[in-house]
Amino acid sequence: MSPEILAFLISTTAFVIQEAKRAKMTAEEIKAQLGIDVDEFNRSNPGVIPSFPDT
């Protein structure tokens, strides 16, 4: 295998690993945001919305 191809494969592998790490970080960030939205969600009770039985 020529050195150029080897260099290409190494750099591509590094890129794939970097992308995988980035995707994992994003999932953690999403979870943090989800925690905030879930807090609001838990404080919202649709039962308090008035019902209109005569409609």
Residue 42 is a binding residue for other proteins (CB under 8 A): yes
Residue 2 is a binding residue for other proteins (CB under 8 A): yes
Q: How many residues does the chain have?
A: 55
Among 3, 9, 17, 25, binds other proteins (CB under 8 A): 9
The number of residues that bind other proteins (CB under 8 A) is 33
User: What is the secondary structure of 1-55 as a DSSP string?
Assistant: --HHHHHHHHHHHHHHHHHHHHHHHHHHHHHHHHHHHHHHHHH--GGGS---TT-
Interface with other proteins (CB under 8 A): 1-2, 5, 8-9, 12-13, 15-16, 19, 23, 27, 30-31, 33-35, 37-38, 40-52, 55
